[in-house]
Amino acid sequence: MAQRKHLDDFLRGRIIGRLECGRTQLEVSEELGIAQSVISRLWQRFQGDGNVSRCYSTGRPRVTTPNEDRYLAVTAKRNRRNTASDLSRQLSSATGTTVSRQTVYRRLGHIGLYARRPVRCVPLTVTHCRLRLAWRREHALWTPQQWSCVMFSDESRFSLQSDSRRTFIWRAPGTRYHQENTIERHRYGGAG
């Protein structure tokens, strides 16, 4: 069996140049000592997408196309609370391509979207802001000894179940506090 020899970029350019000058594939084949089938495939690829460089393909081909990857990204950005399983089902119903949850995670991670817990914040009204500013001004000159008598408590969350039904959102790194990545939480058992 003959050993395969790949054409370098310079030789590919010479072949395309001669074909563009009006030479036939057979003439170019005889001049350069390359099989006509190789020249024919190179010319067809050049006419198809204008590319003559060698396509390196190692490993398994991707299940999704670039358009399907964009569809996943747009869908995840439109509804940030969708799970990877939801996105997989939506892609399957829209395009007919079935992918796993892990594939969805990888595709979105490749463009910079990761599943993270949203920031929960208490919605502040104008009155809240005014009262907080007044409190800050009132306590601005306190000494460390006065502050040592104050105990700040946080609202830690404890749960006996492992998942505790936490929601995740798709967001890019550095966008944690953007408005679309926060969930307003009302104190004392409100929705959110």
Same domain? For 14 and 45 the reply is yes
Is residue 52 within 8 A of residue 16, CB to CB? The reply is: yes
Which residues of the chain are modeled with pLDDT < 50? 1, 158-161, 190-192
Number of domains forming the structure of the chain:
2
Question: In the prediction, which pLDDT does 160 show?
Answer: 47
Question: In the prediction, which pLDDT does 104 show?
Answer: 94
Does 176 reside within a domain? Answer: no
Q: Which tens digits make up the pLDDT trace of 164-189?
A: 557 888 888 888 888 788 877 665 55
Same domain? For 44 and 79 the reply is no
Contacts of 115 (CB under 8 A, 6+ apart): 84, 105, 168, 169, 170
Of 183, 189, 160, whose CA–CA distance to 171 is shortest? 183
